[in-house]
Structures are given as structure tokens and as C-alpha cells.
Chains A and B, each alone.
Chain A
Amino acid sequence: MVFKLYGMGVSTCTQKVVMALKEKSIPFDFININVLKGEQKSPENLARHPFGKIPILEDEDGFRIFESLAIVRYIENLEPNKGARLIPADIKTAALVEQWVSSSVYNFYPSAQGIITERAIKPVAGRPTDEAAAVEHRKKLVPVLDVYDKQLAGHDFFVGNDFTLADLSHLPYFNVINRVEGDLIKERPNLAAWFERCTAKSTWLEVMGFVQGAPKCH
């Protein structure tokens, strides 16, 4: 089965899916959708994703799924025993993974994405950074990162000592934050050690290779 992945190399949500595919050694054809040019709203892409977004995964039989976290869960369940076990088999451990995944959506993404928009996306899109907004997002992110630093004390990953969906759901965002406001990570020893551990994974290096090789969008 060869999958088609519609996405964009620098998109954090696309990177989550690519890392899951690499963990499970699942081959895929990549179709670039340039969000900076508005290609996600084309009639073809709207037929794949009713909200006109990326990423989208499609199989040869026409099964199609969107929303990065749902795609990653699908990939995990296709090959649970290959690569990292992204959702543990034990229901309590799995529930704790889901707790940190949900938490990332509500507590982390809004301000993390805000910083990424202001400090990483706008500069390459040729739009001015809104300094006040960037500062405000940072202020909101700080207490969340303090909670994370505590959570990551004493074990290697968000839930125990294994890399799971709880880590994957955060990693691409931290990778950009490290580039634009790296002090947020460096000042927190447990978070910094976690970031080192995640970015040293061979599958993450493969994701970075994929990003390098993907069509340029700007």
C-alpha cells in the first residue's frame, strides 16, 4: 500500500505525519500544497479536505483522512508494533498520552503557534511581525513551559521513558521555537534535555531531511 500525503515541508502538522510514517517505515508519495500561495483552498484540495487545509493522507483504495493528530493515530494503528509505540497498549498509559496530547491543543498550540506565526512565518512571507502580539504569546507560553519542565523531570519523555504521541504532538513546534526564541527551551533544563533527546532521534533527522528535499514554498 503506497500512501499519498498532501502537505507542505515546513508545515508543523505535515512534519508530525511524516515522523509517524518514518517511525513505522511506511513509504509515501508526497504532493506539495503551497499554503503561502493559497493552494489549500483550490477546488481539488477542497474536495479532499472540506475546510481547505493540510495535511491529508489518502490510500490506494480511496480512504482519506485529515487532521494531523487523527492521521498519526491511524498510522500508529496500522503498524502498532513497528518503530515507536506512539499510543501505548496499556489503557492507563495510553490515557496519560492522550491527556498531554489534548493539553497541547488547548494549553500549548495557541501561544506556540502565535510565536511561530510572528517570528517564523511572517518574516518569510514578507509580512511585518506584530511585536506586541509576539510578546503577549510569549507571556502566555511561559507558565505552560514551566509545567512541562516539571512534568519532564525524572523521565525521558512526557509519559515515562518512551517516545509517544504526547512528544510527537509537541516536537515540530518546539523545533521552530528553538530557532526563533530558543531561550524558552534552554532556560528549562528538563525541557532542554527532552528536546535534545527528541531531535537526536533518527526518525526526526529523516523528517529534517524530508523538509530539506521538499519543494521550496517561498
Chain B
Amino acid sequence: MAIKVIGSARATCTQRIIAVAKALNVDLEIETLDMANRAHKSPEYIKNYQPFGRIPVLVDGDFQLFESRAICRYLVHKYQNKDTIQLIPEDLQQSSLIEQYISVEMSEWGTCIDKYVYETVFKKMFGLTPDEEKIAELRKAAEQVLDVYNQMLEGKDYLLGDKYTLADICHLPYGQHAYNAGLADVFDAPSRPNVARWWKNISSQPSWQATIAN
């Protein structure tokens, strides 16, 4: 029986999970939740699946799990083996640095890139008006954060060096939206050659391209 993820193939946090599953060649069944009709806020969904009324939720037999990064780690621990890509390497220092970059993604990247996507993309989806002043501020914040990423990526093709890992995948869903919604020149700026190289390397991964194809 395939593992099921309740969410939406077009939602950022669901895409994070799909990207991991595709990299590991794991079949996932996506059960699309009717977010437009606020199915994620129904008392039944909150009681049975997600106490905060959010997506995605993983259902693996009688085991349930929410929070996309926790779900990603679970899929890696369950399905990664010597024949698959190593999204979390066994080496203790390497795997700890993956956690460092996932935390950086949540705290530094998230506070500008995710918010930029909310203002420029999601607000339009929800029928709200983007705040231009905020967009300009978030763009400036993204420039500063990507300056630091440029330092962290010096001499590297991926965050961990020469291999594509879970740390890179975690950046893709919001990064892709931001790139498409007006920050391409910030990602590709000549002053940030390491960011430009990294972004090209990770966003061109076949498993990511397959994730956003549908």
C-alpha cells in the first residue's frame, strides 16, 4: 500500500515531501484537500489529522505525522539505503551540518523568501492585495540573506559540498516560487556567483523538475 500524503501537489510544503519521495523513488499517493473550501480548518480534520489545521499530513498505515520536514526525515530514514541517493549521509558531522542548514532555511531563508512568496504569490491566490512596500523590504532582506548564502556556498556545488541532500531540497519549494515571482535577478546576480551556481544545480535536479511538472 502506498504511503498517503494529505495536502496539495501544488502547495510548497507538500512539494518538499514529493521532492524527497521522487529522489528516493518512493511512490506517494497525494490526497488533495479542498483548501479553497477550508477543508483544512474543518473540526473533523483538526481532530483527526492536524491540531493546528494545516497541511500536509502523512498517513502510513496506522501511523500519522505532520510537519513537512519531519515527514521528509521519516521518508529518508525509512527508504534510504545503499542503493538510493544519500539525502542524509551517515557521517555524524555531515548529517549535523544538514540539520544546521535546515534550521537556517527555517529561520533566515524563511523570514524573507517565504514571506516574499506570501506577499507576491499567495496573497493573489487568496484574493488579497500584495503590499508593494513590504515586497520592496522583503526583496532587500532576501538580498542580504543571499549575500550570506553566497559566503556559505563558496567552493561548493551544494550546501554540503559535492552532494545534493535534504538541506538543498528544503530550500526548493519557496525558492522556486520566489525565483519565478521576481527574485531571479537576486538569485542570479553576478555579485553572488555561488548562489547562482547552487540554485542552478538544485533546481535542475530531475526529481525536482518532476515535482513541479504537475
Stretch of A97-105, A194-202, A210-218 contacting B (4+ beta carbons < 8 Å) = A97-105
Knowing A95-B73, A95-B74, A103-B52 are in contact, say whether A50-B100 is a contact too (CB < 8 A). no
Q: How far is the CA of A48 from the CA of B102 in the complex (A)?
A: 18
A208 contacts B by Cβ under 8 Å: no
CB distance from A51 to the nearest CB of B (A): 6
Is B97 close to A, CB under 8 A? yes
Q: Which of B74, B92, B97, B108 touches A98 (beta carbons < 8 Å)?
A: B74
Question: CB-defined interface of B137-158 with A at 8 Å, one 1/0 digit per residue?
Answer: 0000000000010011000000
Tell whether, in the assembled complex, residue B70 and residue A74 are in contact, meaning their CB atoms are under 8 Å apart: no
Given the known interface contacts A67-B99, A67-B104, A92-B63, the answer about A50 and B77 at a Cβ–Cβ threshold of 8 Å is no
Query: In the complex, which of the residues A51, A95, A105, A144 has the most CB atoms of chain B within 10 Å of its own CB atom?
Result: A95
Q: CB of A70 within 8 A of chain B?
A: yes
Q: Of residues 70 to 95 in A, which have CB atoms within 8 Å of B's CB atoms?
A: 70-71, 73-74, 77-78, 91-92, 94-95
A94 to B76, CA, bound (A): 12
Residue in B closest to A95 when the chains form the complex, CB atoms: B74
**Chain B residue contacts of A184, Cβ below 8 A:** none
A98-B69, A151-B51 in contact; A91/B78 too (CB < 8 A)? Answer: yes
Does more than half of chain B's interface fall in helix, strand or loop, or is it mixed?
helix
Q: In the assembled complex, which residues on chain B have CB atoms less than 8 Å from the CB atom of A96?
A: 65, 70
* B145 to A, closest residue via Cβ: A51
Q: Please determine whether A77 and B67 come into contact, CB atoms closer than 8 angstroms.
A: no
Across the two chains, which residue of chain B brings its CB closest to A107? B52
Chain B residue contacts of A50, Cβ below 8 A: 148, 151-152
B201 proximal to A (CB < 8 A): no
Kindly state the interface size class of chain B when it binds its partner. 20 to 34
What mask results when residues 59 to 74 of chain A are scored 1 for a CB within 8 Å of chain B, else 0? 0000101111111011
Question: What is the CA–CA distance of A51 and B78 in the complex, to the nearest angstrom?
Answer: 33
Q: Of A74, A98, A99, A150, which contacts B96 at CB under 8 A?
A: A74
Chain B CB within 8 A of A147 CB: yes
A150 vs B51: C-alpha distance when bound (angstroms): 10
A147-B51 CB under 8 A given contacts A70-B99, A92-B63, A98-B67: yes
Contact: B99 with A74, CB < 8 Å? yes
Given A74-B96, A98-B70, A101-B70, 12 more A-B residue pairs with CB atoms under 8 Å apart are: A50-B152, A69-B99, A70-B100, A71-B100, A77-B95, A95-B70, A96-B65, A99-B67, A102-B67, A103-B52, A147-B51, A147-B52
What are the 4 A-B residue pairs with the smallest beta carbon separation, nearest first? A67-B103, A98-B70, A102-B67, A70-B99
| A interface residue numbers (CB < 8 A to B) | 50-51, 63, 65-71, 73-74, 77-78, 91-92, 94-96, 98-99, 101-103, 105-107, 144, 147, 150-151
20 of the cross-chain contacts (CB-CB < 8 Å) are A65-B97, A65-B100, A69-B103, A70-B96, A70-B97, A70-B100, A73-B96, A73-B99, A74-B99, A77-B92, A92-B63, A94-B73, A94-B77, A98-B67, A101-B70, A102-B67, A102-B69, A105-B106, A107-B52, A144-B52
